Amino acid sequence: MYGHKEDSELSEVEFAMSTYGDDQSWVARALCASVEPDVLFVQGASQRQVRMRCYECEVRLECLADALQSEANYGVWGGLTERERRAILRHYPHAENWLEWLRSSDEPLAHELRSPHVPKVLSYVRPQMAGRMTP
């Protein structure tokens, strides 16, 4: 499905899903698989509702890894907003395999991202907030 369009013709969802390796079997298991993409690409307070659904999803880490790998610019992916994903990408510019990092890294942020609650990403990646981190 994704290989038939030029990259410039792909939607943000299609592009991100087409760039993270060959195994996209997780996509069909995502809670949002049958949701209209416009629902996922919201701003402001509406993002909270979308995020909460992500934390009920069995493939949240795969989705987040896909978004980080493809540097998805818009929408909520794996429970994180574009602002949070950009902060992670800036903080870990040399990461190569995001799924492996998310699943097995001993970094405090990786532990936070694996937890079943909305993470406090910015407190882990912003130096001025590091003193305010809670265990």
User: Looking at residue 23, what is its pLDDT?
Assistant: 61
pLDDT, mean of residues 35-56: 84
Q: What sign does the dihedral 59-104-119-44 (CA atoms) show?
A: negative
5-39 tens-digit pLDDT: 344 444 555 544 444 445 678 888 988 888 887 87
53-101 tens-digit pLDDT: 898 999 999 999 999 999 998 889 999 999 999 999 999 999 999 999 9
